[in-house]
Every structure is written in C-alpha cells, then in structure tokens.
Structure 1
C-alpha cells in the first residue's frame, strides 16, 4: 500500500458524487410520492415530445382520417372497418390516444412558455422593486396588489380578448397560441415579483453586496450577478407549481372556447369537444383527455410541493 504524504492535495469530489451525496437527492429517493410524481410527469412529457413516433397516426392529418371509424368504443373493433383503437375514436374517426399525445404537446408548450415569460417578467420587476425602493417599489407593488384582486383566469381572458381584438382576423388562428402564452404569463407574474422583491430586500443588506459596492460594481451588475443567484431557490419552487396552474389555465381557456384554435387542439379543446358527446354515450371522448390532464397537473403539482419542502431549511 502506497503512503500518501500528509501535505498532498485532496482531490475535490466530482460533480456526480456531490449530487449523489446532496440533501436534495436524499430527500428525493426517500420520498415515494416524489418518485411516483416524477415518473408520471416524465412519462407524459416524453410521450408528448415524441408524439410523432409514439402515436399510431397523426390525428390532424386529413389524409389519415376515416370518418367510418367515428365513435368507435375503446378496444372494440369498428363495425365497418374492423379497426381497433385502445382509447376509442372521436366524431371524426381520430384515435383518442393520438389526439391526447398531440394535444398534450400544445398544453405543455403553452405551460412552459407562459411560466418562462411570467418568471422573467416577475423576477425583473421584483429585483427592481426590491433594489430601488421608494416610488418605484410602491408603483410596482400596487399594480401587483390590484391584479391580485382579480382571479387570474379572468385577467387571462381579458388580455386574450384585447389581443384578439387588435390582431387581424386572418392572423388570429396563427397567433392564438402566442396570445394565450402572453395572457397566462401576464396573469401569473405577480407571485414571482413579490417573492423576489422580499428576497432582494433581505440580500441587499448583506455584507457581500456592500463589498460589491465598494469594489465599484454598479446596480445592474450587483442585481444580476450577485443577488439574483441567491434568490432563485424559491423562484424554482414557484415555477414548478405555476407550471401545473398554467396547464390548468390553458385547459380552462380552451374549454371556454377562448384558447387554442380547433386546428391546434390542446387537452382543454379535446375536453370541450368530448363534452358535446358525453350524454349521448361516447364517454371516452371526454374521459381520457380529462384523466390525462388530471395526471399531468397532479404529478407536476406534487413535484412542486416536494421541492418546496426539500428546499426549506426549517423542515430538515
């Protein structure tokens, strides 16, 4: 056995070893709820991302549709074509399983983009309000307080309606998804701004900020290079929970007919279509998209709850 000199440099642990030995990984692997929620959400997200390869057919390609397959119950051969679909078909002969995979892509895209937009806007305004204080802080926070008095879904509907009134009629369907993202993002930025503002006010009084000022750092440099990395932990938790809320908000708007267009149906649009046939006996057209939305939102929400508890030092 080789003798190691006492003054030999100690090799720092690798990034993988630090991750395996971290408290966050220990909290994850000891939480059955987090493991199941992560597995379900990962499965659904990957199924949506790889929908062109997972789905049996493209349900929105008119060349692949056969109206004779319409209203086929799940796992039952069609009376005319003999085709069998695992989750049945809708009124146009589209496989419900394929429509769910493609519709989930729209719901996830809107959810992720809306949360990213709300996060960027909320973090920026929260940093400015917490750093500047005075009149700037008062104006930003009063706007946030006013917005909190209205339900977020009504704010999103108002923004969506104004945007659709401004956009020309021939471009509305093409811009509907982006208008939906902006509407949901503008209705959800307040939570990010309030949390970041409070954290910025605390961090701005610490010694490392004073040292940065003495070193000649300007305000924007201190905000984005020193304070921002120290306020991201609560923002990550809010973003995870907001993702589930954004997916539900998109589904609600689409269900009400003011969201995704029929040419790009999301889970909410599929649920709205299925409702028209619920009482005529075609229950599967509504049930499977609704169950998918429930599993997706619940799994992401449970992950957010676990992450909030895991990153809270008072609960360790």
Structure 2
C-alpha cells in the first residue's frame, strides 16, 4: 500500500460479519434453526398467492363436494387431490394455512409496532420528565398489569367493535384486533424504557446536551432513545410471539379475525369442532404451524436477549 493511500473503511457487511452478534448467532444452533423456520414461514405467508394451489377467500373456487378430503388422498367424488386435505367447506388446508398465517403475522407485527411506539414514548416521558407525569403513567401501567393481557385485549376489542358501525365491523375487525392487542401490551415497553431512561438521563452526554440548550424533546429522541433500544428490540421479538398467540386465542374464542378472513386461530377453532369425528388434519396442521412459528420466534428472542446482555459475554 502506498504511503499516502488512505485505507478503505470496512463495508457494512464486513462490520456485521465481525460483530459479536454475528459470532454468537453462528455458534448457536438453536438460533440458526429458529431463524430458518421463521424465514421459511414468513416467506411462505408473503408468497401465498403464488404458492397456494387455491384461493380459500374466493367462494367461486370452492366445491363442497371436496369437503373432508383426507391428506394425500384424491376426493372420492371429484378426484381432486389435496396435500394436507380439506376442511368442511372444501377449502384446501394448505392454502388456508398460508393465507391464515399472513393475517396472523400482519396482526402480530402491527400490534407489536403499536405497543412499542406507545410504550417507548410513554416510557421516555415518564423517565425523563418525572414528577406527576411519571406517577400518572406508571400508575396506569400498574393498574393494567393487575389484569391478564388477554382480558384487557378482549375488553378493548369489545369497546372498539361496539362503537364501529355494523356495516364496517367485518372490514375493521383486523384493525380493531391490532388496536386491542397493541394497547394491552405497551406496559412492558414503558417500564423497561423508563428504567433505562432514569439511568441515561444522568450521564455526561445528556448533561452536556442540556448545557448547550437542547430542548427536552430533542434530548429524548436524539440522545436517550438510541441508547435504550437494545432491550426494546429484545422485548419486541418476544412480544411478537405473544401477540401472534394472543391473536390466535382471540380468534379461537370467536372475537378475533372474521370467518371470511380466517387466521390460524380461526382455523384451529374450526378444526377442533371436527377433531373427535375423525377429521384430525383440519386442527393438526394449523396448530402445528402456529406452534412452530411462535416457538421459533420465542427462541430467537431468548438468543437475542442473551447476545445483547454484556454480563453474559
């Protein structure tokens, strides 16, 4: 290398490969397998219109004569073949799983994003401003923690659905579901961010920002927020699995996704009605998919929590 030549800065990809996070990931088989399962399931859901043999949401493509066809067998009346069988309406279980997983993932991601935004904002305000703002926010959080999250979600869902005009209830059901799950899950984000903000606001860089006249909002967003994101990302990963399970629970109870746009929880509810009559596949495959998705995301969250914990390095 010439004397005056300036060395090139490593690329982002090179920096990522040399990071502690990448090193920990490549040496954790559970994290690798979990990530692979999540990637496969998410891609399958996103590409459902291309992968699914049938569109289960199109009544014109359904044939009731195909109902209750066992997996891997041709229907005795129509001769149609279905890899994972059909349900009572003649819908291909494989196709309904792909489309149902799209709804479950969409609701889960959206609800976690809503909970994260609300929790982070309230946590920053409580930790940095203190006083009556902190007391009010944290007392509301404490009251909400005294109730199970699923009951809070059902309460919010019932109120939101009640004020929605009847003509729009089916159209708004998914958004109401996101609102219910998101508002029932913001507390843990707020508590963690508040605790981290209480530590960060006394650091030298925050004191220096105050001395140069930075506004409180600017200090919270530009200085404190980037330094409290690590635990937020861990909570968000774990909360994603819980949000997907919460959506499935609400849909299983009949207060979630509408029957015209079934999620994994709705498919499980439909399947359990025929479990004891011998049509086991209607329940087994959606339930197995939900289990694999939630478990893989949870295991990824556990690995991320350990990888980002400096005490375990």
The TM-score with structure 2 as length reference comes to 0.99
- Pairwise CA RMSD: 0.9
What's 1:241 paired with? Answer: 238
Alignment of structure 1 residues 1-316 onto 2, 5 Å: 4-5=2-3, 8-316=5-313
How far has the Cα of 1:134 moved from its partner?
1.1
Alignment partners' CA distance in 1, 2:158 and 2:99: 26
Alignment partners' CA distance in 1, 2:63 and 2:5: 74
Deviations 1:52-111 (A, max 9, x none): 001011011111111111000000111011111110000111100000000001000000
The secondary structure found in structure 2 opposite 1:63 is helix
How far has the Cα of 1:8 moved from its partner?
4.9
Alignment partners' CA distance in 2, 1:96 and 1:10: 57
What is the total number of aligned residue pairs between the two structures? 313
TM superposition outliers: structure 1 runs of 4+ over 3 Å: 7-10
How far has the Cα of 1:152 moved from its partner?
0.1
Deviations 1:104-149 (A, max 9, x none): 0100000000000000000000000000111110110011011001
Alignment partners' CA distance in 1, 2:289 and 2:8: 48
The secondary structure found in structure 1 opposite 2:147 is coil
Alignment partners' CA distance in 1, 2:93 and 2:8: 55
Alignment partners' CA distance in 2, 1:164 and 1:228: 34
Identify unmatched segments of 5+ residues in structure 1: none
Alignment partners' CA distance in 1, 2:151 and 2:167: 25
How far has the Cα of 1:12 moved from its partner?
2.0
Alignment partners' CA distance in 2, 1:196 and 1:190: 10
Alignment partners' CA distance in 2, 1:54 and 1:77: 20
Deviations 1:220-245 (A, max 9, x none): 00000110000000000000000000
Name which of structure 1's ranges 286-295 and 11-20 shifts more when overlaid on structure 2. Answer: 11-20
Identify unmatched segments of 5+ residues in structure 2: none
